[in-house]
Structure 1
């Protein structure tokens, strides 16, 4: 339900924007993106206890390059923070994930439209930290996963673009250990973000 509300809110926000600019091809153009939003992380376990995770904040940015009229490549780095609890309700500490994402997407250019929807995927390197309630830092292995994403760009001007995106990351669990105990961290999750792109050319 939380995931549905986040996606619906983004769709309404983008649909409510008005202007006169038309969508443009980004072939041969370089831009930077900044984005903020929410993430629904997967559950993990520690010391044979199931860890329920909270909805967290995600933010970051990257570089986009238009290879053709319809194909673009992206490199992005995002940072995520979220808390965790035992099923019984006790605090189980906080997680942080830095996602180094390499990917591409296909852009659907619509005639006489300010909006350009897109869909894509790619590879993710996931650098994670886990802080126990005592303040002890756990050792968490680096994870590697894949993502699928979809979104829409709204061209305010040829250079300035507003963006809304949903991105799902799928990755295998990695080992973590602290205070003589161990567990498994699942870096998977679904994020909904809004952002701004600026193209230099």
Structure 2
């Protein structure tokens, strides 16, 4: 079902592409972003130290705000939620990230704007164990590095694609206050979406 949803969103994005358009400067402009994609999480310590808890690729959805400081620098607030399975339970992760982008605006095709970014992440997680019950997972801080591109289909609308790596220390998983495992929030994700600029 998740794959069908992602495919439907991607087809909708492709249908938005008209003919020629020019990217305008985003200096002083506020944009809102919606996106969907895939996350490849790290493996974790299994409950009570019994080996490694291997994880599966999952779905990530989210959105955020982008504000152009000048022609090259932009500030970004992003919130994503991802869910993925593991050998011994299901994880649900919310990542609130604050950061910035450097945008390469001097491209031959003015519609295409590559960018790189970095920032700070607040990572809140839940774990539903196959052994019964929801475990508490500590909130942790991390950092991210990202790279992507915006393709402007018109002045106010851009299609976007991004790859992002989040690096963070392990968080404790506890059951009734007792340590039962560790969660490694480090992950790699790829997303596709749309940005809409208001002004």
Over residues 87-131 of structure 1, what are the superposed CA-to-partner deviations in whole Å (9 max), with x where a residue is unaligned?
xxxxx0000100000000100012442100000100000000000
Displacement after TM superposition at 1:47 (Å): 1.4
Displacement after TM superposition at 1:177 (Å): 1.6
Displacement after TM superposition at 1:134 (Å): 3.8
1:89 paired residue number? none
CA distance in 2, matches of 1:32, 1:43: 32
CA distance in 2, matches of 1:74, 1:37: 19
Alpha-carbon spacing, 1:182–1:134, altered in 2? closer, same or farther (3 Å): closer
How many aligned residue pairs are there? 182
User: C-alpha root-mean-square deviation of aligned residues, in Å?
Assistant: 1.7
CA distance in 2, matches of 1:133, 1:64: 39
Displacement after TM superposition at 1:25 (Å): 1.2
1:33 paired residue number? 33
CA distance in 2, matches of 1:102, 1:128: 18
Q: For structure 1, which segment, 179-188 or 38-47, has the greater mean C-alpha deviation from structure 2 after superposition?
A: 179-188
Find the residue that maps to 1:53 and give its secondary structure.
coil
1:81 paired residue number? 83
2:125 paired residue number? 128
1:200 paired residue number? 198
**8 Å Cα contact 1:23-1:112 kept in structure 2:** no
**8 Å Cα contact 2:172-2:179 kept in structure 1:** no
Q: Is residue 42 of structure 1 aligned with residue 42 of structure 2?
A: yes
CA distance in 2, matches of 1:181, 1:142: 15
Displacement after TM superposition at 1:18 (Å): 6.5
1:182 paired residue number? 180
Gaps of 5+ in 1: 1-9, 86-91
- Runs of 4+ in structure 1 over 2 Å off: 178-181
Q: What TM-score results when the alignment is normalised by the length of structure 1?
A: 0.86
Displacement after TM superposition at 1:149 (Å): 0.2
Find the residue that maps to 1:58 and give its secondary structure.
strand
Q: Is residue 97 of structure 1 aligned with residue 98 of structure 2?
A: no
Gaps of 5+ in 2: 1-9
